[in-house]
Amino acid sequence: MKDRRKTLQFALMKTLPIAVSYFFVAVAFGMLMTQAGYPLPWSLFTSVWVYSGAFQFVLVSFLAAGAPLLTISLTALFMSSRHIFYGLSFLQEFRRAGKAFPYLIFGLTDEVYSLFCSLEYPPEVDQPRAMFEIALFSQLYWILGSVAGAAAGSLLPANVKGIDFCLTALFVTIVLDQWKNAASRRPALIGFACALVCLALLGASRFILPAMMLAAGLLLLDAKFRKEAAHEA
Amino acid sequence: MKPDASYAAAAILISGAITYLLRALPFLVFHDGRQMPAWISGLASALPAAIMAILVVYCLKDVPASSAQTQLAAAAGVAATAAVHLWRRSTILSVFAGTAVYMLLLAFL
What does the pLDDT look like over A69-126, one tens digit per residue? 999 999 999 988 888 878 878 888 898 888 999 999 999 998 899 899 888 899 999 9
The residue with greater pLDDT, A174 or B81, is B81
Report the candidate in A74, A91, A77, A141 with the shortest Cα–Cα distance to residue A112.
Answer: A141
Taking 90 as the threshold, does the pLDDT of residue A163 lie above it?
A: no
Q: What is the pLDDT of residue B53?
A: 93
Residues in chain B: 109
- Within 40-79 of B, beta carbons closer than 8 Å to A belong to 40-62, 65, 73-74, 77-78
Taking 90 as the threshold, does the pLDDT of residue A222 lie above it?
A: no
**Chain B residues touching residue A172 (CB < 8 angstroms):** 56, 78, 81-82, 85, 94, 98
Taking 60 as the threshold, does the pLDDT of residue B3 lie above it?
A: no
* Contacts (Cβ under 8 Å, ≥6 apart) of A91: B26, B27, B30, B31
Total-model pTM: 0.84
Q: What is the pLDDT of residue A47?
A: 98
Taking 60 as the threshold, does the pLDDT of residue B87 lie above it?
A: yes
C-alpha count within 13 angstroms, C-beta hemisphere, residue A180: 9
Q: What is the pLDDT of residue B33?
A: 65
Chain B residue with Cα closest to A174: B52
Q: Sketch the domain layout of chain A as residue ranges.
A: 4-181, 183-233
CB of A51 within 8 A of CB of A139?
Answer: yes
Under an 8 A CB cutoff, do B16 and A75 touch?
Answer: no
Please, which pLDDT band fits residue A148 given cuts at 50, 70 and 90? very high
Helices (H), A96-185: 101-106, 110-118, 127-155, 165-181
Taking 90 as the threshold, does the pLDDT of residue B42 lie above it?
A: no
